[in-house]
Amino acid sequence: MSRIHDIPENDRPRERLLRLGPQALSDAELLALFINTGTKGENALQIGQRILRDYKSLRDLSRLEPAVLRKIKALGPAKTALLAAAFELGRRSAQEPSHAEIILDRPQLIYDYIGPEMQALGHESVRIILVNTKLAVVRSEEVFKGSLNQCIAEPRDLLRKVIIHNAYGYILVHNHPSGDPSPSEPDRSLTRRLRDTSAAVGIQLLDHLIVGAPSASRAQPYFSFKEHGML
Protein backbone atom coordinates (compact mmCIF):
# COMPACT_ATOMS: atom_id res chain seq x y z
CA MET A 1 0.00 0.00 0.00
CA SER A 2 1.64 3.23 -1.17
CA ARG A 3 -0.75 5.57 0.65
CA ILE A 4 -2.08 5.72 4.21
CA HIS A 5 -5.54 6.19 2.70
CA ASP A 6 -5.23 2.73 1.13
CA ILE A 7 -5.18 1.23 4.64
CA PRO A 8 -8.67 0.44 6.02
CA GLU A 9 -9.80 3.48 8.02
CA ASN A 10 -9.98 1.67 11.38
CA ASP A 11 -6.36 0.48 10.94
CA ARG A 12 -4.83 3.88 10.17
CA PRO A 13 -2.49 5.22 12.93
CA ARG A 14 -4.48 8.39 13.68
CA GLU A 15 -7.80 6.58 13.92
CA ARG A 16 -6.30 3.80 16.05
CA LEU A 17 -4.79 6.37 18.45
CA LEU A 18 -8.09 8.21 18.86
CA ARG A 19 -9.98 4.97 19.36
CA LEU A 20 -7.53 2.99 21.52
CA GLY A 21 -5.09 5.54 22.95
CA PRO A 22 -1.42 6.22 22.04
CA GLN A 23 -0.16 3.22 24.01
CA ALA A 24 -1.85 0.91 21.50
CA LEU A 25 0.31 2.13 18.61
CA SER A 26 3.63 0.65 17.56
CA ASP A 27 6.77 2.79 17.43
CA ALA A 28 6.47 2.94 13.64
CA GLU A 29 2.85 4.08 13.84
CA LEU A 30 3.73 6.87 16.27
CA LEU A 31 6.53 7.99 13.96
CA ALA A 32 4.09 7.92 11.04
CA LEU A 33 1.89 10.49 12.78
CA PHE A 34 4.80 12.94 12.87
CA ILE A 35 5.95 12.11 9.35
CA ASN A 36 2.33 12.60 8.23
CA THR A 37 2.83 12.38 4.46
CA GLY A 38 4.64 9.82 2.37
CA THR A 39 6.66 9.94 -0.81
CA LYS A 40 6.21 8.21 -4.14
CA GLY A 41 6.05 4.47 -3.45
CA GLU A 42 6.31 4.77 0.36
CA ASN A 43 3.63 5.95 2.78
CA ALA A 44 4.29 7.55 6.17
CA LEU A 45 3.95 4.24 8.03
CA GLN A 46 6.43 2.52 5.71
CA ILE A 47 8.85 5.42 6.16
CA GLY A 48 8.58 5.01 9.94
CA GLN A 49 9.21 1.26 9.65
CA ARG A 50 12.26 1.85 7.44
CA ILE A 51 13.74 4.43 9.79
CA LEU A 52 13.38 2.07 12.76
CA ARG A 53 15.02 -0.76 10.80
CA ASP A 54 17.93 1.52 9.91
CA TYR A 55 18.40 3.02 13.37
CA LYS A 56 17.42 -0.07 15.43
CA SER A 57 15.37 1.69 18.14
CA LEU A 58 13.54 4.88 19.12
CA ARG A 59 16.18 5.49 21.78
CA ASP A 60 18.98 5.52 19.21
CA LEU A 61 16.89 7.64 16.85
CA SER A 62 16.10 10.18 19.60
CA ARG A 63 19.83 10.75 20.17
CA LEU A 64 20.41 12.04 16.63
CA GLU A 65 21.04 15.74 16.15
CA PRO A 66 18.56 17.54 13.83
CA ALA A 67 21.28 17.90 11.17
CA VAL A 68 21.64 14.10 11.10
CA LEU A 69 17.87 13.49 11.17
CA ARG A 70 17.46 15.74 8.15
CA LYS A 71 19.72 13.48 6.08
CA ILE A 72 17.28 10.57 6.43
CA LYS A 73 15.50 9.86 3.15
CA ALA A 74 11.97 11.38 3.09
CA LEU A 75 12.57 13.72 6.05
CA GLY A 76 12.68 17.35 5.01
CA PRO A 77 13.12 20.37 7.30
CA ALA A 78 9.50 20.37 8.54
CA LYS A 79 9.39 16.65 9.44
CA THR A 80 12.85 16.82 10.98
CA ALA A 81 11.77 19.74 13.18
CA LEU A 82 8.62 17.88 14.32
CA LEU A 83 10.55 14.74 15.26
CA ALA A 84 13.33 16.67 17.03
CA ALA A 85 10.70 18.66 18.96
CA ALA A 86 8.86 15.47 19.97
CA PHE A 87 12.05 13.86 21.29
CA GLU A 88 12.98 17.03 23.20
CA LEU A 89 9.51 17.26 24.76
CA GLY A 90 9.92 13.68 25.96
CA ARG A 91 13.28 14.50 27.54
CA ARG A 92 11.93 17.63 29.22
CA SER A 93 8.84 15.92 30.59
CA ALA A 94 11.05 13.20 32.10
CA GLN A 95 13.18 15.89 33.75
CA GLU A 96 10.41 18.21 34.92
CA PRO A 97 9.98 18.11 38.71
CA SER A 98 6.67 17.18 40.24
CA HIS A 99 5.02 19.40 42.85
CA ALA A 100 4.53 16.29 44.98
CA GLU A 101 7.33 15.17 47.28
CA ILE A 102 9.52 12.63 45.51
CA ILE A 103 10.95 9.99 47.86
CA LEU A 104 13.98 8.05 46.60
CA ASP A 105 14.43 5.33 49.20
CA ARG A 106 15.28 2.46 46.87
CA PRO A 107 17.19 2.00 43.60
CA GLN A 108 14.14 1.32 41.41
CA LEU A 109 12.65 4.69 42.42
CA ILE A 110 15.91 6.46 41.60
CA TYR A 111 15.92 4.80 38.18
CA ASP A 112 12.26 5.70 37.58
CA TYR A 113 13.00 9.31 38.52
CA ILE A 114 16.01 9.94 36.29
CA GLY A 115 16.76 6.81 34.23
CA PRO A 116 14.64 7.45 31.10
CA GLU A 117 16.06 10.95 30.72
CA MET A 118 19.65 9.70 30.96
CA GLN A 119 19.06 6.80 28.59
CA ALA A 120 18.18 9.34 25.90
CA LEU A 121 21.65 10.93 26.09
CA GLY A 122 24.34 10.12 23.56
CA HIS A 123 27.11 11.23 25.92
CA GLU A 124 28.11 10.31 29.46
CA SER A 125 26.53 12.56 32.07
CA VAL A 126 27.10 12.71 35.82
CA ARG A 127 24.20 13.87 38.01
CA ILE A 128 23.85 14.53 41.72
CA ILE A 129 20.51 14.24 43.51
CA LEU A 130 20.36 15.96 46.90
CA VAL A 131 17.88 14.62 49.46
CA ASN A 132 16.60 15.57 52.90
CA THR A 133 16.27 13.33 55.96
CA LYS A 134 13.06 11.80 54.52
CA LEU A 135 15.06 10.94 51.37
CA ALA A 136 12.89 13.36 49.39
CA VAL A 137 14.47 15.19 46.45
CA VAL A 138 15.77 18.65 47.32
CA ARG A 139 17.66 19.33 44.10
CA SER A 140 18.93 17.48 41.06
CA GLU A 141 21.54 18.74 38.62
CA GLU A 142 24.15 17.70 36.11
CA VAL A 143 27.63 18.20 37.53
CA PHE A 144 29.67 17.03 34.57
CA LYS A 145 29.49 15.94 30.94
CA GLY A 146 32.06 13.27 30.33
CA SER A 147 33.48 10.32 32.20
CA LEU A 148 32.97 9.80 35.91
CA ASN A 149 36.74 9.47 36.32
CA GLN A 150 37.22 13.05 35.10
CA CYS A 151 34.33 14.43 37.13
CA ILE A 152 35.22 13.19 40.60
CA ALA A 153 38.92 13.96 40.53
CA GLU A 154 38.27 16.06 43.64
CA PRO A 155 35.35 14.78 45.83
CA ARG A 156 35.30 18.07 47.76
CA ASP A 157 33.90 19.87 44.69
CA LEU A 158 30.91 17.52 44.72
CA LEU A 159 30.45 17.61 48.50
CA ARG A 160 30.47 21.42 48.43
CA LYS A 161 27.13 21.29 46.60
CA VAL A 162 25.65 19.10 49.34
CA ILE A 163 26.84 21.48 52.05
CA ILE A 164 25.71 24.66 50.24
CA HIS A 165 22.16 23.34 49.92
CA ASN A 166 22.14 21.94 53.48
CA ALA A 167 21.16 18.47 52.23
CA TYR A 168 21.17 15.39 54.43
CA GLY A 169 22.80 13.29 51.74
CA TYR A 170 23.11 12.67 48.05
CA ILE A 171 22.77 10.10 45.31
CA LEU A 172 25.28 9.96 42.48
CA VAL A 173 23.98 8.89 39.07
CA HIS A 174 25.79 8.49 35.79
CA ASN A 175 24.97 6.75 32.54
CA HIS A 176 26.78 4.32 30.27
CA PRO A 177 25.77 5.25 26.69
CA SER A 178 26.85 1.76 25.60
CA GLY A 179 23.80 0.44 27.43
CA ASP A 180 25.75 -1.89 29.76
CA PRO A 181 25.43 -0.59 33.36
CA SER A 182 28.14 -2.89 34.76
CA PRO A 183 30.58 -0.83 36.84
CA SER A 184 34.15 -0.44 35.67
CA GLU A 185 37.06 -0.59 38.09
CA PRO A 186 37.32 3.23 38.06
CA ASP A 187 33.59 3.37 38.90
CA ARG A 188 34.18 1.09 41.89
CA SER A 189 37.31 2.91 43.04
CA LEU A 190 35.77 6.36 42.88
CA THR A 191 32.62 5.18 44.68
CA ARG A 192 34.76 3.91 47.57
CA ARG A 193 36.64 7.21 47.63
CA LEU A 194 33.44 9.24 47.69
CA ARG A 195 31.92 7.00 50.38
CA ASP A 196 34.92 7.44 52.67
CA THR A 197 35.28 11.18 52.06
CA SER A 198 31.55 11.77 52.61
CA ALA A 199 31.52 9.78 55.84
CA ALA A 200 34.49 11.76 57.15
CA VAL A 201 32.51 15.01 56.94
CA GLY A 202 29.17 13.56 58.08
CA ILE A 203 27.45 13.44 54.69
CA GLN A 204 25.57 10.38 53.47
CA LEU A 205 26.34 8.93 50.04
CA LEU A 206 23.08 7.00 49.78
CA ASP A 207 23.65 5.28 46.47
CA HIS A 208 25.55 5.41 43.22
CA LEU A 209 23.39 4.35 40.29
CA ILE A 210 24.73 3.55 36.83
CA VAL A 211 22.05 3.83 34.16
CA GLY A 212 22.20 1.50 31.18
CA ALA A 213 19.59 0.31 28.71
CA PRO A 214 16.92 -2.41 28.98
CA SER A 215 18.10 -5.79 27.71
CA ALA A 216 16.78 -9.34 27.72
CA SER A 217 20.18 -10.47 29.03
CA ARG A 218 19.98 -8.63 32.37
CA ALA A 219 17.30 -8.25 35.01
CA GLN A 220 17.61 -4.47 35.43
CA PRO A 221 18.72 -1.59 33.19
CA TYR A 222 20.77 -0.12 36.02
CA PHE A 223 23.43 -1.02 38.59
CA SER A 224 23.02 0.10 42.20
CA PHE A 225 26.10 0.06 44.42
CA LYS A 226 23.84 0.01 47.49
CA GLU A 227 21.80 -2.89 46.20
CA HIS A 228 25.00 -4.87 45.63
CA GLY A 229 26.25 -4.22 49.16
CA MET A 230 29.03 -1.89 48.05
CA LEU A 231 27.86 1.13 50.07
Give pLDDT tens digits for 17-45. Answer: 898 888 888 998 998 888 888 888 888 88
Structure confidence at residue 101 (pLDDT): 84
- pLDDT confidence band for 222 (50 / 70 / 90): very high
In this prediction, residues 46-51 reach a mean pLDDT of: 91
pLDDT at 89 over 70: yes
Q: Which of 14-23, 42-51, 155-164, 188-197 has the lowest mean pLDDT?
A: 155-164
Structure confidence at residue 225 (pLDDT): 97
pLDDT at 151 over 80: no
C-alpha angle 152-204-180 in degrees, rounded to nearest 5: 50
Confirm if 66 and 80 have CB atoms less than 8 A apart. yes
Burial (Cβ within 10 Å: 0-12, 13-18, ≥19) of residue 59: middle
Structure confidence at residue 220 (pLDDT): 92
The model's pTM is 0.62
